[in-house]
């Protein structure tokens, strides 16, 4: 049985004196601040939270596709941008957002201050591009809140223990928001995005996908790890470890979103919470390795040392004493993994290494699987009925994942969603 492993979360010291009751952290993604009008709408929402009596810290992402455009610009100048200078470059997008939001809030008659990650006291390790938060020194935020100011923090960034600007990688603004909620002992962390919450499937694929009122941390971790884009995996892990309730909701409406919290708070849990899919993975197959102890370690240790993230693994042994090892990894890691795998294959005397990028992963997730046998069999039945072949299968106590052809993944998601009655008012 395969188990998803999550990144360890560093210890963050709490403030010496707890803040006044009513602090909330609000995070707004890139689509929420994509242009001046949307940014002004975000400013009005932040002001509304302040006028309701809350002390407000807002974390903002870069506007729209700013970060992607800056990365493209860097590659136009240099084929292999220096990691330090790339972090210096792409960290400016969030700074633009918070400065503009502060201007808009002041025009609405409220005091606000914009802070970079370093000014907000977010301290990271020294890894550029994928830095981890190691400390939050929130004195300046506390002082601003005590002066009745709205605090706007640039997401996705911090300052390293070596005094360098660092960025936190994909989903970094979510991680910034949750970490601040921990350090400030906030009542809640609200994640504002372009969807109304967490759905039973991607609404762009399944028209009758249903918004979930609540999911557990455990379910959200699996959903994020298996392709759901609404929350970054690291931020959910952070929230679970420190007991921060998350509220995912739309920036463009006032409806209740999806609450993410501890399982004991969820009174009635559906067997299945959702179906996810991921088209960002590739499959690697090593053919003809010896069937003896230690071979798997020799294959995967060099990949781990190079920072390649392996997901699903299956090994088949022939009657001739040779094995075939297949596994999935992010497509973005192929360039790093291929030379390592070719070298390892030569050392082991393997016949060949094959890479297949035309695959996708479809996953069925739900806390109710623990006490309801037969879920996996039902999933396999519906895929068989739709003539969809399964190439790799992986499970946990609340998840079943299958690798299928990329061309069949949307059909697979729709069929599974319908079989388990997840659309509309079903569950």
**9 Cβ neighbours under 8 A, 6+ residues apart:** 237, 238, 241, 242
Alpha-carbon span 95 to 116, nearest angstrom: 6
Per-residue pLDDT tens over the stretch 150-190: 999 999 999 999 999 999 988 899 999 999 999 999 988 99
The CATH fold of domain 23-194: Carbamate kinase (3.40.1160)
Output the pLDDT for position 2. Answer: 39
pLDDT at 317: 83
CA 275 – CA 226 distance, rounded (Å): 9
pLDDT confidence band for 382 (50 / 70 / 90): very high
The mean pLDDT of 308-323, rounded to a whole number, is 85
Q: Where residue 318 falls among pLDDT bands split at 50, 70, 90?
A: confident
Distances (CA, A) of 416 to 94, 244, 370, 410: 39, 32, 19, 10
pLDDT at 264: 53
User: How much is the pLDDT for 229?
Assistant: 83
Q: Which two tokens stand for residue 143?
A: 């002082």
Return the pLDDT at 360.
95
Average the pLDDT over 250-278 and give the result: 79
425 pLDDT tier (thresholds 50, 70, 90): low
Percent of the chain clearing pLDDT 70 (strictly above): 92
Instruction: Please tell me the distance from the alpha carbon of residue 326 to that of residue 134, in angstroms, as a whole number.
Output: 36
Euclidean distance between CA atoms 391 and 400, whole angstroms: 13
| pLDDT-derived band at 367, boundaries 50, 70, 90 | confident
Give the confidence band of 325 by pLDDT, cuts at 50, 70, 90.
Answer: very high
pLDDT recorded at residue 150: 98
Which residue, 137, 187, 140, is CA-closest to 20? 187
- Longest alpha-carbon distance in the chain: 78
| Res 6: pLDDT | 36
CA 176, 182, 185, 188 torsion-angle sign: positive
Domains in the chain: boundaries: 23-194
How high does pLDDT run on average in the chain?
A: 89
Q: Is 288 left (phi over 0), alpha (psi -120 to 50) or beta?
A: left
Please state the rounded mean pLDDT for residues 11-29: 66
For residue range 196-221, list pLDDT tens digits in order: 999 999 988 999 999 999 999 999 99
Neighbours of 193 (CB within 10 A): 23
Under the banding of pLDDT at 50, 70 and 90, the label for residue 269 is low
Supply the pLDDT for residue 263: 65
Q: Tokens 């700013």 identify what position?
A: 66
How much is the pTM?
Answer: 0.82
- Average pLDDT on 263-274 reads 64
């Amino acid at each position: 049985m395969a188990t998803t492993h999550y990144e360890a979360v560093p210890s963050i010291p709490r403030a010496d004196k707890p803040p006044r009751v009513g602090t909330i952290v609000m995070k707004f993604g890139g689509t929420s601040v994509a242009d001046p009008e949307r940014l002004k709408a975000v400013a009005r929402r932040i002001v509304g939270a302040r006028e309701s009596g809350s002390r407000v810290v807002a974390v903002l992402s870069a506007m729209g596709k700013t970060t992607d455009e800056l990365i493209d610009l860097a590659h136009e100048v240099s084929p292999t941008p220096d990691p330090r200078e790339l972090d210096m470059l792409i960290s400016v997008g969030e700074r633009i957002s918070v400065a503009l939001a502060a201007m808009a809030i002041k025009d609405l008659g409220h005091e606000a201050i914009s802070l970079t990650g370093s000014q907000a006291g977010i301290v990271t390790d020294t890894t550029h591009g994928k830095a981890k938060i190691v400390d939050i020194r929130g004195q300046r935020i506390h002082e601003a809140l005590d002066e009745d100011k709205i605090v706007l923090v640039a997401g996705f960034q911090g300052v390293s223990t070596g005094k360098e600007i660092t960025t936190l990688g994909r989903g970094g603004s979510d991680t910034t928001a949750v970490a601040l909620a921990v350090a400030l002992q906030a009542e809640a962390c609200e994640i504002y995005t372009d969807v109304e919450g967490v759905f039973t499937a991607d609404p762009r694929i399944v028209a009758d996908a249903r918004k979930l009122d609540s999911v557990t941390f455990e379910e959200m971790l699996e959903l994020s790890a298996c392709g759901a884009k609404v929350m970054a995996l690291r931020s959910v892990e952070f929230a679970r470890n420190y007991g921060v309730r998350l509220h995912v909701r739309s920036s463009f409406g006032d409806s209740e979103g999806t609450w993410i919290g501890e399982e004991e708070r969820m009174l009635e849990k559906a067997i299945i919470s959702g179906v996810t899919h991921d088209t960002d993975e590739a499959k690697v197959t090593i053919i003809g390795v010896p069937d003896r102890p230690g071979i798997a370690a020799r294959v995967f240790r060099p990949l781990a040392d190079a920072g390649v993230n392996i997901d699903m693994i299956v090994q088949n042994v022939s009657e001739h004493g040779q094995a075939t090892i297949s596994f999935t990894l992010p497509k973005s890691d192929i360039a790093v993994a291929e030379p390592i795998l070719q070298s390892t294959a030569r050392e082991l005397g393997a016949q060949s290494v094959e890479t297949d990028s035309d695959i996708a992963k479809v996953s069925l997730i739900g806390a109710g699987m623990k006490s309801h046998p037969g879920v996996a069999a039902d999933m396999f039945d519906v895929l068989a009925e739709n003539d969809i072949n399964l190439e790799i299968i992986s499970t946990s106590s609340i998840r079943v994942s299958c690798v299928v052809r990329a061309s069949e993944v949307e059909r697979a998601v729709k069929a599974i969603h319908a079989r388990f009655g997840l659309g509309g008012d079903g569950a």
